[in-house]
C-alpha cells in the first residue's frame, strides 16, 4: 500500500513464488490506472493498465485487480523472477486528463 | 529510436544559481511532463504540456518554469535553485491525452543543490 515518509514498504519473495503488490488510490473519480516498474537508476516503465469499467486485466505473468469500492489496486506477478526486482508504482489518472498521480511505491525483492 | 532523452544526467548547483533541463522526444508525442522523485517517494508532477506552445501546472510547480516552443522539446528551468530542489527529475511523454495509455520516461536527471 501507500507509504509515508522516506522508507518504501518492501516485499520479499522467493524466486518462483507469486507476488502481490497493493496500492490505495486517492480519488474515487479516477478512471484509469497504470502500474509502472522502476529499476535502479532508470525511469519507470509501463507494465499494465486498467480502466475503471473493469475489475481485472491480465497480461503476460501479470494481473491487475481493481476494487473501486475501497479504492484499491493490486498487481499480481506470477512465478516471480530475479529480474522482477524493482520498485513498483501505481498511478491514477483523474478525470481522464492523462495527468497521472503516482503512489509512493513498493520495493520488490526477489530472493534466488 | 532514442525515445525520451534528458540532458544533463547529473548536475550540481549552488543555492541561487539557475539552470535548464532539456527533454527531447522523437516519437511525435503531444503530451510531455516533468516529474520529480525524492528518496522513498513516488513521482510528483511539476508541470506538463498538452501540445506545442502550451504549459500547465502540476502538483508542485513552485520554483520551476517550463517552455514548449517545439513539439519535441520540453524545457524545465530553475531560476534560483534551492536545496529543497535536490531531486531526480524525470521527463515523460505520451501520444495524446485521455486514457490512451502509457507515459514514456527518460532516464532521469539527478540534481544536487548545495
B42-48 contacts at long range (C-beta below 8 A, 24 or more positions apart): B42/A89, B42/A102, B42/A103, B42/A104, B42/A105, B43/A44, B43/A89, B43/A91, B43/A102, B43/B90, B44/A102, B45/A99, B45/A100, B45/A101, B46/B76, B46/B89, B47/B76, B48/A99
Domain boundaries along the sequence of chain B? 4-113
Q: What is the pLDDT of residue A2?
A: 38
What integer pLDDT is reported at residue A109 of this predicted model? 95
Locus of grid cell 526477489? A110
Residue range A55-81, pLDDT digits in tens? 999 999 999 999 999 999 999 999 999
Chain B environment of A43 (Cβ under 8 Å): 4, 90, 92, 105-108
Judge whether A2 lies within some domain. Answer: no
Task: Check CB contact under 8 Å for B42 and A102.
Answer: yes
DSSP string, B10-70: EEEE-TT--EEEEEEESS--SEEEEEEE-TT--EEEEEEESSTT--EE-SS-TT-EEE-SS
Contact criterion met (CB < 8 Å) for B90 and A43: yes
Split at pLDDT 50, 70, 90, the class of A6 is: very low
CA distances from A107 to A1, A29, A112, B6 (A): 11, 27, 16, 25
Residue that has been written with the C-alpha cell 535536490 in this structure: B86
Contact B108 A102 (CB under 8 A): no
Partner-chain contact B90 A101, CB within 8 Å: no
Given a cut of 50, is residue A33 above it in pLDDT? yes
Q: How many CB atoms lie within 10 A of CB B36?
A: 23
Question: Does the pLDDT value for residue B1 go beyond 70?
Answer: no
Residue at A49 is within a domain: yes
Residues in B 77-96 with any Cβ partner in A closer than 8 A:
90, 92, 94, 96
B106 in contact with A at a CB cutoff of 8 Å?
Answer: yes
Quote the CATH superfamily of domain B4-113. Answer: Immunoglobulins (2.60.40.10)
Task: Report chain B's mean pLDDT, rounded to a whole number.
Answer: 92
Q: Which residues of B touch A100 (CB under 8 A)?
A: 45, 103
Q: What is the predicted pLDDT for the residue at B76?
A: 98
Cβ contact (<8 Å) for A105 and B99?
Answer: no
Q: What are the angstrom distances between the C-alpha of B52 and each of B32, B65, B105?
A: 10, 15, 19
* pLDDT interval class at B102 (50, 70, 90): confident
Of B4, B35, B102, the CB nearest to A46: B102
Within-domain flag for A99 = yes
Q: Yes or no: say if A22 and A1 are a contact pair by the CB < 8 Å rule.
A: yes
> Buried b / exposed e across B85-105, counting CB within 10 Å, b at 16+?
bbbbbbbbbbeebeeeebbbb
The reply to whether A3 falls in a domain is no
Q: Are A43 and B96 a contacting pair at CB < 8 A?
A: no
- Give the mean pLDDT of A103-108: 91
Residues of chain B in contact with residue A3, where contact means CB-CB under 8 angstroms, are: 40
Range of the domain at A34: 10-111
Please state the domain count of chain A: 1
Contact A42 B99 (CB under 8 A): no
**Does residue B98 surpass a pLDDT of 50?**
no
CATH assignment of the domain containing A104: 2.60.40.10
Amino acid at each position: 500500500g501507500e507509504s509515508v515518509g522516506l522508507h518504501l514498504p518492501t516485499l520479499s519473495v522467493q524466486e518462483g513464488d507469486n507476488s502481490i503488490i497493493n496500492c490505495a488510490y486517492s480519488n474515487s473519480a479516477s478512471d484509469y490506472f497504470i502500474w509502472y516498474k522502476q529499476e535502479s537508476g532508470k525511469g519507470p516503465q509501463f507494465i499494465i493498465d486498467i480502466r475503471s469499467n473493469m475489475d481485472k486485466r491480465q497480461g503476460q505473468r501479470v494481473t491487475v485487480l481493481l476494487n473501486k469500492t475501497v479504492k484499491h489496486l493490486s498487481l499480481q506477478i506470477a512465478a516471480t523472477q530475479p529480474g522482477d526486482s524493482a520498485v513498483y508504482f501505481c498511478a491514477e489518472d483523474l478525470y481522464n486528463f492523462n495527468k497521472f498521480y503516482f503512489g509512493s511505491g513498493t520495493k520488490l525483492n526477489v530472493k534466488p | 529510436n532514442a525515445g525520451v532523452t534528458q540532458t544533463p544526467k547529473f548536475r550540481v548547483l549552488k543555492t541561487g544559481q539557475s539552470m535548464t533541463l532539456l527533454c527531447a522526444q522523437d516519437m511525435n508525442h503531444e503530451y510531455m511532463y516533468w516529474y520529480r522523485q525524492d528518496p522513498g517517494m513516488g513521482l510528483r508532477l511539476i508541470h506538463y504540456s498538452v501540445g506545442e506552445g502550451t504549459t500547465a501546472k502540476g502538483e508542485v510547480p513552485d520554483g520551476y518554469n517550463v517552455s514548449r516552443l517545439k513539439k519535441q522539446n520540453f524545457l524545465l528551468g530553475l531560476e534560483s535553485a534551492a536545496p529543497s530542489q535536490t531531486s531526480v527529475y524525470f521527463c515523460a511523454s505520451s501520444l495524446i491525452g485521455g486514457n490512451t495509455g502509457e507515459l514514456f520516461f527518460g532516464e532521469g536527471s539527478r540534481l544536487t543543490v548545495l
